[in-house]
A and B are shown apart, each in its own frame.
Chain A
Amino acid sequence: MVKVTIDGRTVEVPAGTLVTDAARAAEVHVPIFCSHSKLPPLGACRICVVEVGTPKLGADRQPVIGADGQPEIAWMPKVQTGCTTPVSDGMHVRTASNVATKARKGVMEFLLVNHPLDCPVCDEGGECQLQDLAFAFGHDGSRMDEAKRTFDSEDLGPIVKKEANRCIVCMRCVRYCDEVMGENALTAHQRGVHTEISSFDRQPLACEQCGNCVEVCPVGALTALPYRFKARPWDLRQHITICEWCPNGCSVRLGVRGMEILRARGTEFRGVNQEYLCVRGRFGHEFVNAADRLTAPLLRTGAALQPSTADEATAFVAARLRDLAATHGPESIAFLGGEKLNVEEQYLLQKLARTVLGTPNLDARTRPAAAVAGDALLRATGGGRPGLTFDAITAANEVLVLFEDLQGEAPLAQAAVVRGFRQRGLHVTVAHARRVKLARAKFKGDWLGLRPGSELALTLALTKAALDLGVPAGVPGEVASALTSLQGSLASWTPERIEAETGVSGAAVAAAAKRMREAGRKALLFGRGVLEHAQAPQLLQAVENLAWALGAITAESSSVMAFGPHHDSAGALEMGLVPDTLPGFAPAPKRGLTAREALAAAAEGKVRALWIVADDLLVSAADRALVERALERCELVIVNEMFLTRTAARAHVVFPVAAFAEKEGSVLNSERRLQRSNRALSPRRGARADWEVLQAVARELGADWRYRTAEDVFREIARTVPGFAGLSYATLLPDGALLAGTPVAAQVKPVEWTAAAAGDGLWLLSGGTLFADGSLSSRSATLAKLAGAARVRVSPAEASRLGFAAGDLVELTGPAGAASYAVEIDDSVPAGAVFVPAPGAELNRLGVPTGGGLRVKARKATGAATVGA
């Protein structure tokens, strides 16, 4: 730590701290434009100029002490930029002296030389850093009344509006797009006073459309078209809550006017993401305002669903559940879904099932074809040991991504990797059948382009390669011996066999394992590619083995992060929304039915009531035919939904529920960070938070539930669930709390492997993409526009082999059915496979993935598209 004195205030800061940051610590305001916490110092805009002095040294190299007994200060002849000057011990800084003030006013005046005076029609007005500063420091009335240099305004695609005349050339947008997003969509054209930010040849931005360039623009040069002229910031109520688009758990600042969300922004120095948001977080909130939100409970009378009242629907549901339980036993009831609920609601859902109704049949994981044990994912990610944070990912030397396209499933994690690569020399290895973004040459990583279906084989091969380097240091004794015996079981994975089974060379696999093993700071990342794989149980066990073998999990800590399908999937596991573990992962006294088993039982009439919570099973479940039969046969289908989804349309009772931004609660992200999710606006008329729906039914069933708020529920969780002890809403502010607890016992054991049946046809690759992920993306105008209709993506090679051209309508036929999509040529797709982004594509019409996955036949279709067209 060093002492630095700024305008007379002395603060202690770590050596190397920049003067601007030290000033913040000393609560002295030093303005900045071009510098940004996620970008290296630039020193271009010069607004942060200050006077800097250091202790004068005498001949003896000792500070010269002046008459006042204080060290004499040698002031530098020129003003310095605070954003580029690291502090040193005894440094003095003046921000308010005549010299500093004149310099800063001078810069301020220069910034306005060519800046238009169009604040009244500028979207940034009211929160423009330039406007604020001009007000604080600037001259009154400009001395610059010559003609200003002017540019034409420009729409850079559907998101970004550019008014170059307002640009102050701070280069934040360009640098952020390059160093954090890895997109390089923006660049500076020309030079000098003609410098203009734009794209290659002024083309529409071909990028992730994240809008972070708009976010970091300190002026109104870049604004968001979807928000254009919608409101003035001072008309907006701003609420920070947690994004509901993915498990990263970014903080979004919603701008609300009346009953409408008008925009979403990040917030510098707040949340895991700070200013960062992906396109979904920034523009995906539109579904909350959607006109077709459900506003009244629906009750089925005969063929039709009729609007009803909350009391009527509640009474009806309670009565039917009561006598089903009475006549057929509580186990004739099953609860499905709940990953989209918040932690409090998940807790009450399982409490309603287990204690009020007494059924063990509940499972939030409705997508996977094969269910895994409730604590399997926890074990694979370190069993609850202190885990990986996003900052730790950025700081890692080596990152291994298993079978996941972070761009679609965990955008913030991708940004963390990109920034680590651009700024910290991070190296990334991506194991994925497709050449996803992070696998592109640009990021100078290694791509293990495995043959689709060989995920398990590659995982075993990596484990073998890791164990060939011996058992890693720092693993508990029992794990060490388990690894040793595991090694034996993997002996058959010779380089030749690896190549034969996976299409990846044994050498590449060995090198990747070695890099991870030897990296001081490492990160192992995976997600739905494992959890929703047809071989999920074996694969997840293999990943746990691999994590230990790579030293990614040690006795003390874990460097593994997993990404579930929804923003609170982790909470669902933590709260025991699975048939085999209770809240806090305690084993359930009696194992209930998994989602798949429950549906099968329903199809056979054994389960007679299904309560489906915020889950469009017909579209999302692996086995559509099974869901059809279950819904057909089931006596009572209850659905909690915001919209009349395909599944809801088949229900007997539909409860309209509140959106994420309309309710209080807490959610658990992929770091296992528990964060407050705040209510930004009151629920759509007629809709209630899920927990209120559940409580109403529970009370009707005679339970003595008296929760007035979600916080009441949380207090109970904190009392009863081990990992939550000592937590309260107060302790969750501002940045949430990383769950800690006694780790569950590791389970390292051999995985039996069976070669994928040598069927023919093309492998069907699926998964979320940036613009299409989750059933809600189609209900957000901006995302829907960006995503377009569902398409089948084919590699150029495969396309020419099959005689497909872009735009052709192609029919995919699987074991269970067929669907047709328009063709898109995509060189990131491997030959021998097709890629269909999951949401809206209803791939579960084609069949249930088994073994390595699903294979389909493709041929030019004649009729109209049956899906997505």
Chain B
Amino acid sequence: MSHGTVMPVDGPATLEWSAKAQTEVTDILSRYPVKRSAVLPLLWLAQREWGWLSTAAMRRVADTIGLPESEVYGVATFYTMFNLQPVGRHHLQVCMTLSCSLMGADRLYKHLERKLGIGHGQTTSDGRFTLRKVECLAACGRGPCMQVGFDYHENLTEANVDALLEKLK
């Protein structure tokens, strides 16, 4: 999420790691001499497990490491890639930084807004897309570009982006 006040969203009361996640937790903890280093990996794991970081998810991470939950919250909100609210099935993150902008990112982004009928940080009513402006993705040589989830899509045009959206059910 891009920065700006985040208001808490209601989520589940409590969450437990799945058996599979639990083995990953053990593996993650084994990589660091100091448990606290596992915060980011565990937040990532939680986001993968549950789609977004509800307070229950952050509590689970805090307990797993034995860290005050406030600290986990402070970390989670510092970084832009953690979703503190639920996001759509396809998270469109359009790079707006200079190199892409020089290549038409702004116009492309407007096109997406118009096409999906949503603005920055919003999700389509069918829960399919969340649209977001982001900063430089290190794809400057092939701008405009965007990440859908973690997948890079580069050299975008209005035409090929439309085709892409078609494929993303």
Direct contact of A and B (CB under 8 A): yes
Determine whether the beta carbon of B5 is less than 8 Å from that of A184.
Answer: no
Main secondary structure, interface of A, reads mixed
Determine whether the beta carbon of B8 is less than 8 Å from that of A189.
Answer: no
Determine whether the beta carbon of B78 is less than 8 Å from that of A190.
Answer: yes
> Scoring A residues 675 to 717 as 1 if CB is less than 8 Å from chain B, else 0, what string do you get?
0000000000000000000000000000000000000000000
Determine whether the beta carbon of A184 is less than 8 Å from that of B71.
Answer: yes
Determine whether the beta carbon of A201 is less than 8 Å from that of B55.
Answer: yes
Determine whether the beta carbon of A189 is less than 8 Å from that of B69.
Answer: no
A169-201 CB contacts (< 8 Å) to partner B = 184-192, 194, 196, 199-201
> Complex formed: what's the CA distance from A194 to B1 in Å?
13
Q: B35: shortest Cβ distance to chain A, in Å?
A: 12
A202 beta carbon closer than 8 Å to chain B: yes
Determine whether the beta carbon of B3 is less than 8 Å from that of A190.
Answer: yes
Determine whether the beta carbon of B74 is less than 8 Å from that of A441.
Answer: no
A141-176 CB contacts (< 8 Å) to partner B = 151-152
* Contact A189/B73 with A184-B68, A200-B55 known, Cβ cut-off 8 Å: yes
Determine whether the beta carbon of A194 is less than 8 Å from that of B5.
Answer: yes
* Contact A200/B70 with A190-B77, A190-B78, A191-B78 known, Cβ cut-off 8 Å: yes
* Contact A187/B71 with A194-B3, A441-B66 known, Cβ cut-off 8 Å: yes
Closest to A192 in B: B3
Which residues of B have CB within 8 Å of A152?
Answer: 5
A3-33 CB contacts (< 8 Å) to partner B = none
Determine whether the beta carbon of A196 is less than 8 Å from that of B70.
Answer: no
Q: B62: shortest Cβ distance to chain A, in Å?
A: 9
CB within 8 A of A187: which of B5, B55, B74? B74
> Complex formed: what's the CA distance from A151 to B5 in Å?
7
> Complex formed: what's the CA distance from A202 to B58 in Å?
14
Which residues of A have CB within 8 Å of B73?
Answer: 187, 189, 200-201
> Complex formed: what's the CA distance from A128 to B6 in Å?
29
Q: B122: shortest Cβ distance to chain A, in Å?
A: 19
> Complex formed: what's the CA distance from A190 to B70 in Å?
13
Determine whether the beta carbon of A186 is less than 8 Å from that of B3.
Answer: no
Determine whether the beta carbon of B3 is less than 8 Å from that of A191.
Answer: yes
> Complex formed: what's the CA distance from A202 to B68 in Å?
14
Which residues of B have CB within 8 Å of A192?
Answer: 3
Closest to B76 in A: A189
> Complex formed: what's the CA distance from A194 to B58 in Å?
21
Which residues of B have CB within 8 Å of A187?
Answer: 70-71, 73-74
> Complex formed: what's the CA distance from A441 to B68 in Å?
11
> Complex formed: what's the CA distance from A35 to B52 in Å?
37
B4 beta carbon closer than 8 Å to chain A: yes
Determine whether the beta carbon of A185 is less than 8 Å from that of B5.
Answer: no
Q: A796: shortest Cβ distance to chain B, in Å?
A: 16
Q: B52: shortest Cβ distance to chain A, in Å?
A: 14
Q: B156: shortest Cβ distance to chain A, in Å?
A: 28
> Complex formed: what's the CA distance from A610 to B14 in Å?
59
* Size of A's binding interface in residues, CB under 8 A: 19
Q: B31: shortest Cβ distance to chain A, in Å?
A: 22
Closest to A164 in B: B5
B1-54 CB contacts (< 8 Å) to partner A = 3-6, 8
Determine whether the beta carbon of A190 is less than 8 Å from that of B66.
Answer: no
> Complex formed: what's the CA distance from A202 to B9 in Å?
11
Q: B29: shortest Cβ distance to chain A, in Å?
A: 16
Closest to B68 in A: A184
> Scoring A residues 198 to 212 as 1 if CB is less than 8 Å from chain B, else 0, what string do you get?
011110000000000
* Size of B's binding interface in residues, CB under 8 A: 17
Which residues of A have CB within 8 Å of B5?
Answer: 151-152, 190, 194, 196
* Contact A188/B55 with A151-B5, A202-B8, A441-B66 known, Cβ cut-off 8 Å: no
Q: A531: shortest Cβ distance to chain B, in Å?
A: 34
> Complex formed: what's the CA distance from A264 to B156 in Å?
63
Closest to A151 in B: B5
Closest to A197 in B: B74
* Contact A189/B71 with A200-B55, A201-B55, A441-B66 known, Cβ cut-off 8 Å: no
CB within 8 A of A189: which of B55, B58, B74? B74
Closest to A199 in B: B70
> Complex formed: what's the CA distance from A151 to B4 in Å?
10
Which residues of A have CB within 8 Å of B78?
Answer: 188, 190-191
Interface centre among A151, A190, A194, A202 (most CB of B within 10 A): A190
> Complex formed: what's the CA distance from A442 to B70 in Å?
14
> Complex formed: what's the CA distance from A841 to B122 in Å?
55
Which residues of B have CB within 8 Å of A196?
Answer: 5
Q: B140: shortest Cβ distance to chain A, in Å?
A: 22
Which residues of B have CB within 8 Å of A185?
Answer: 70
CB within 8 A of A201: which of B4, B8, B68, B71? B8
Q: A552: shortest Cβ distance to chain B, in Å?
A: 31
Which residues of B have CB within 8 Å of A186?
Answer: 70
> Scoring B residues 58 to 87 as 1 if CB is less than 8 Å from chain A, else 0, what string do you get?
100000001011111110011000000000
Q: A418: shortest Cβ distance to chain B, in Å?
A: 13
Which residues of A have CB within 8 Å of B66?
Answer: 441-442
* Contact A189/B77 with A151-B5, A194-B3, A194-B5 known, Cβ cut-off 8 Å: yes
Q: B1: shortest Cβ distance to chain A, in Å?
A: 10
> Complex formed: what's the CA distance from A185 to B70 in Å?
6
> Complex formed: what's the CA distance from A40 to B31 in Å?
30
Which residues of A have CB within 8 Å of B70?
Answer: 184-187, 199-200
> Scoring A residues 739 to 771 as 1 if CB is less than 8 Å from chain B, else 0, what string do you get?
000000000000000000000000000000000
B116-139 CB contacts (< 8 Å) to partner A = none
Interface centre among B4, B5, B68, B74 (most CB of A within 10 A): B74
Which residues of A have CB within 8 Å of B6?
Answer: 189-190
> Complex formed: what's the CA distance from A200 to B71 in Å?
8
Q: A221: shortest Cβ distance to chain B, in Å?
A: 15
> Complex formed: what's the CA distance from A152 to B7 in Å?
11
> Complex formed: what's the CA distance from A441 to B66 in Å?
8
Interface centre among B5, B58, B71, B72 (most CB of A within 10 A): B5
> Scoring A residues 534 to 575 as 1 if CB is less than 8 Å from chain B, else 0, what string do you get?
000000000000000000000000000000000000000000
Which residues of B have CB within 8 Å of A151?
Answer: 5
A419-446 CB contacts (< 8 Å) to partner B = 441-442
Q: A165: shortest Cβ distance to chain B, in Å?
A: 12
Interface centre among B58, B66, B68, B71 (most CB of A within 10 A): B68
Q: B8: shortest Cβ distance to chain A, in Å?
A: 5
Which residues of A have CB within 8 Å of B77?
Answer: 189-191
Q: B104: shortest Cβ distance to chain A, in Å?
A: 27
> Scoring A residues 312 to 348 as 1 if CB is less than 8 Å from chain B, else 0, what string do you get?
0000000000000000000000000000000000000
Which residues of B have CB within 8 Å of A184?
Answer: 68, 70-71
Closest to A183 in B: B68
Which residues of A have CB within 8 Å of B74?
Answer: 187-189
Q: B121: shortest Cβ distance to chain A, in Å?
A: 14
Which residues of B have CB within 8 Å of A202?
Answer: 8
Which residues of A have CB within 8 Å of B8?
Answer: 201-202
Q: B67: shortest Cβ distance to chain A, in Å?
A: 9
> Complex formed: what's the CA distance from A188 to B3 in Å?
13
> Complex formed: what's the CA distance from A816 to B66 in Å?
44
Closest to B79 in A: A191
> Complex formed: what's the CA distance from A191 to B80 in Å?
10
> Complex formed: what's the CA distance from A202 to B6 in Å?
10
> Complex formed: what's the CA distance from A201 to B66 in Å?
18
Residues of chain A at the chain B interface (Cβ within 8 Å): 151-152, 184-192, 194, 196, 199-202, 441-442
Q: A187-B70, A188-B78, A442-B66 are in contact. List 9 more A-B contacts (CB 8 A).
A: A152-B5, A190-B3, A191-B3, A194-B4, A194-B5, A196-B5, A200-B58, A202-B8, A441-B66
Can you pick out 8 interface pairs between chain A and chain B where the beta carbons lie within 8 Å of each other?
A184-B68, A186-B70, A188-B78, A190-B77, A190-B78, A192-B3, A200-B69, A201-B8
